[in-house]
């Protein structure tokens, strides 16, 4: 549980922290596109190198980001083995592509949440999706829901750990066969869900008492000003994205 870094903000004054949240959300989406259009070893190497550079300049400890994929490494490995076995031709390449895509996607989402607070993400989403208001999409509510979800990921992780320890102290055994593990995990999931619903109710009351449903335009706490970091980040990302497209379109690939 402690390995999951998704949703945990890492306070710092690094260049990625200073970049506008709207821009980071756009980069995040485009990076996912770039790893999915890269189907060669060269393309994947470019994507991975760019991600490592981003992690380095973010001033977030490498271990914090890499820790995020520990929880899915088994899934990534099993999926890659299945792909390798089911692809008689280019099985190795297909397996590596899938593995790198999964790991990169998890790392880049962890990097986004480590360098951006949930409320910055909410403000960024609200601004980026504001055009949807014209078709009566509740953009503000969606953005705040995303922000609260991210905020509560570590809270629920801690809660799950406490329940796990409490059940172990009461004699529950979480080792043994897979079917036994599946049946005992219910002893953690039931109180966890119960607690999550109780927390949701209390949070809703707290937000209501703090005038969340007040009928007016909510003030954005983070000003949307483009800084020199944004311009530089935009140029670097554009260069990276064009480069991955070029690598994809190269005739010898």
Applying CB under 8 A, does 212 fall inside the site for other proteins?
yes
Whether the CB-CB separation of 34 and 240 falls below 8 Å is answered with yes
CB of residue 19 vs other proteins: minimum separation in angstroms?
Answer: 17
Residues 6+ apart with CB under 8 A from 81: 95
CB of residue 159 vs other proteins: minimum separation in angstroms?
Answer: 9
- In which element (H, E) is residue 205 found? helix 186-209
46 CB-contact burial (10 Å; exposed 0-12 / middle 13-18 / buried 19+): buried
Applying CB under 8 A, does 191 fall inside the site for other proteins?
no
Rounded alpha-carbon distances, angstroms, from residue 79 to 55, 75, 85, 98, 241: 26, 6, 10, 8, 27
CB of residue 105 vs other proteins: minimum separation in angstroms?
Answer: 23
What binding mask, one character per residue, do residues 157-186 give for other proteins by CB under 8 A, x or -?
------------------------------
What binding mask, one character per residue, do residues 214-233 give for other proteins by CB under 8 A, x or -?
xxxxxxxx-x----------
CB of residue 123 vs other proteins: minimum separation in angstroms?
Answer: 10
Question: What number of CA atoms fall less than 13 Å from residue 108's CA on the CB side?
Answer: 24
Stretch that binds other proteins, among 4-12, 35-43, 95-103, 232-240 (CB under 8 A): 4-12
**Which residue, 122, 72, 59, is CA-closest to 99?**
72
Applying CB under 8 A, does 154 fall inside the site for other proteins?
yes
Whether the CB-CB separation of 112 and 126 falls below 8 Å is answered with no
Applying CB under 8 A, does 210 fall inside the site for other proteins?
yes
| Residues binding other proteins (CB under 8 A) | 8-9, 11, 117-119, 144, 147-148, 151, 154-155, 198-199, 202-203, 205-221, 223
């Amino acid at each position: 549980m402690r390995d999951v870094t998704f949703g945990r903000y890492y306070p710092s004054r690094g260049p990625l922290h200073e970049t506008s949240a709207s821009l980071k959300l756009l980069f995040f989406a485009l990076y996912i596109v770039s790893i999915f259009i890269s189907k060669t070893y060269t393309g994947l190497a470019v994507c991975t190198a760019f991600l490592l550079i981003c992690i380095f300049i973010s001033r977030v400890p490498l271990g914090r980001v890499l820790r995020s994929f520990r929880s899915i490494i088994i899934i990534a490995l099993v999926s890659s083995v299945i792909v390798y076995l089911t692809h008689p031709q280019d099985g190795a390449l297909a397996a590596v592509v899938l593995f790198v895509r999964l790991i990169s996607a998890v790392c880049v989402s962890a990097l986004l949440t480590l360098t951006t607070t949930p409320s910055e993400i909410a403000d960024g989403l609200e601004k980026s999706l504001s055009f949807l208001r014209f078709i009566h999409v509740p953009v503000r509510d969606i953005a705040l829901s995303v922000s609260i979800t991210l905020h509560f990921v570590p809270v629920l992780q801690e809660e799950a750990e406490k329940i796990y320890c409490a059940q172990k102290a009461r004699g529950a055994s979480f080792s043994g066969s897979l079917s036994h593990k599946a049946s005992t995990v219910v002893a953690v999931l039931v109180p966890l869900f119960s607690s999550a619903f109780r927390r949701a109710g209390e949070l809703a009351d707290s937000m209501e008492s703090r005038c969340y449903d007040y009928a007016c335009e909510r003030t954005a706490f983070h000003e949307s000003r483009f800084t020199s970091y944004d311009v530089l980040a935009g140029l670097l990302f554009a260069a990276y994205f064009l480069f991955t497209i070029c690598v994809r379109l190269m005739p010898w690939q």
